[in-house]
């Protein structure tokens, strides 16, 4: 999105280098509430470049401290304090109805530059730490702009249109959800299912994610009631923490800088409305490209396995087709036979009948359904 000099250098938090930044400051109480927010410009220095997996193993007690954590004075306690704050904020979000979903993305595994597998990129405590602080910072940013009378680009996830299917899905597990959409009720159902069947929770999560629908960017004007984010159970939310790789965040940073400098908004309301729609469309387009690349990789892995059968979960069902996700490799394909009567979240046994690497096509038939 940005020139390489910016994206990989001047806007990247390189180790032991000063960088210009916008700081989102907040006080996190032991119970997870956020108070005393402030936003200001500053120069910052990153004391250590760390990796998620090694930090997570150390925080969990299953691995040694990364070398920089051990060598930089005070860094170990700083990270543990951040971890405590993040876990507290996460706990209070879930109490308010945030959805604890498990939808790890597929990650390609190569050996000697040859694709060998697609595996799930599992969540861990270090990733959760960053996620929780980003959610908190985005909420503070959204409220700050509103309090300053500035328009903003909000990230929203509306009440799901297919709530009725989510209700039916819960009923198949012997649970009851209200007829009116409720993030609190859904969160309790998900927590119960994770505890009861942790091995199947990823499949249930995928189904719920598909039924919730996609998030979008919208213009919010001062004084308007926020549309909110159903999945996070928050009313004030924007994207602001990745301005060097995501355009909506760059727009929000420009709005912040204008407010802090007591200058007019760099965008008109019509421009922001158009940009919100554009960013939503481009996010969809980018997701399609990424999905196509990953499906081409999966088609390559599956090409020698025509005729094999897999356990899967219906991940999409509409007039355009029915889709099934399998676990090894972690991918999705179209169900071309035997899809009648299936809906999102249904478990199904499928047989691989065709792949096309160049087009990223993976075709399944429902096991036991012969062609006619």
Percent of the chain scoring above 70 in pLDDT: 99
pLDDT in tens, 182-227: 999 999 999 999 999 987 898 899 899 999 999 999 999 999 999 9
Spell out a b/e string for 171-198, using b for 16 or more CB atoms within 10 Å of the CB, else e: eeeeeebeeebbbebbbebbeebbeeee
Instruction: Quote the pTM value.
Output: 0.88
pLDDT in tens, 247-298: 999 999 999 999 999 999 999 999 999 999 999 999 999 999 998 999 999 9
**Confidence check: pLDDT of 372 > 80:** no
pLDDT confidence of residue 123: 87
The answer to whether 319 and 211 have CB atoms below 8 angstroms apart is no
- Report d(CA 94, CA 324) in Å as an integer: 29
- Report d(CA 207, CA 324) in Å as an integer: 10
The answer to whether 263 and 206 have CB atoms below 8 angstroms apart is no
pLDDT confidence tier of residue 327, bands split at 50, 70 and 90: confident
pLDDT confidence tier of residue 8, bands split at 50, 70 and 90: confident
306-372 under CATH 3.90.940.20, yes or no? no
Residue with tokens 């960088």: 19
331-337/361-366 β-pairing: parallel
- Report d(CA 268, CA 125) in Å as an integer: 41
Max Cα–Cα distance, the chain, nearest Å: 71
pLDDT confidence tier of residue 104, bands split at 50, 70 and 90: low
Mean pLDDT (the chain) is: 93
Domain boundaries, the chain: 4-157+214-292, 306-372
């Amino acid at each position: 999105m940005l020139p390489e000099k910016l994206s990989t250098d001047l806007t990247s938090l390189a180790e032991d280098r000063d960088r210009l930044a916008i700081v989102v400051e907040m006080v996190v109480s032991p119970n997870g509430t956020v108070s005393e927010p402030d936003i200001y410009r500053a120069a910052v220095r990153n004391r250590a470049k760390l990796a998620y997996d090694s930090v997570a193993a150390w925080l969990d007690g299953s691995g040694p401290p990364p070398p920089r954590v051990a060598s930089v004075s005070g860094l170990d306690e700083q990270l543990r304090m951040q971890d405590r704050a993040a876990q507290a904020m996460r706990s209070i979000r879930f109490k308010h109805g945030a959805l604890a979903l498990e939808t790890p993305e597929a990650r390609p595994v190569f050996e000697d530059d040859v694709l060998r597998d697609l595996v799930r990129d599992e969540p861990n405590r270090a990733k959760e730490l960053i996620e929780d602080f980003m959610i908190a910072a985005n909420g503070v940013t959204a409220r700050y702009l509103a309090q300053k009378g500035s328009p903003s680009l909000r990230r929203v996830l509306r009440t799901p249109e297919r709530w009725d299917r989510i209700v039916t899905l819960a009923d198949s597990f012997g649970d009851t959800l209200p007829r009116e959409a409720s993030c609190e009720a859904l969160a309790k159902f998900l927590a119960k299912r994770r505890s009861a069947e942790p091995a199947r929770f990823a499949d249930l999560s995928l189904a719920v994610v598909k039924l919730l629908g996609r998030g979008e960017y919208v213009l919010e004007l001062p004084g308007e009631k926020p549309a909110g984010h159903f999945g996070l159970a928050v009313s004030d939310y924007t994207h602001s923490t990745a301005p060097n790789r995501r355009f909506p965040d760059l727009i929000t940073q420009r709005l912040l800088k204008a407010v802090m400098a007591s200058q007019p908004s760099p965008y008109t309301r019509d421009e922001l409305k158009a940009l919100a729609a554009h960013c939503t469309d481009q996010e969809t387009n980018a997701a399609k490209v990424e999905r196509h690349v990953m499906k081409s990789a999966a088609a390559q892995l599956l090409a020698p396995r025509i005729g094999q059968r897999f356990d899967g979960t219906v991940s999409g069902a509409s007039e355009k087709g029915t889709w099934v996700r399998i676990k090894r490799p972690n991918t999705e394909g179209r169900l071309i036979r035997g899809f009648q009567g299936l809906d999102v979240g249904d478990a199904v046994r499928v047989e691989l009948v065709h792949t096309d690497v160049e087009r990223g096509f993976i075709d399944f038939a429902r096991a036991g359904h012969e062609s006619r």
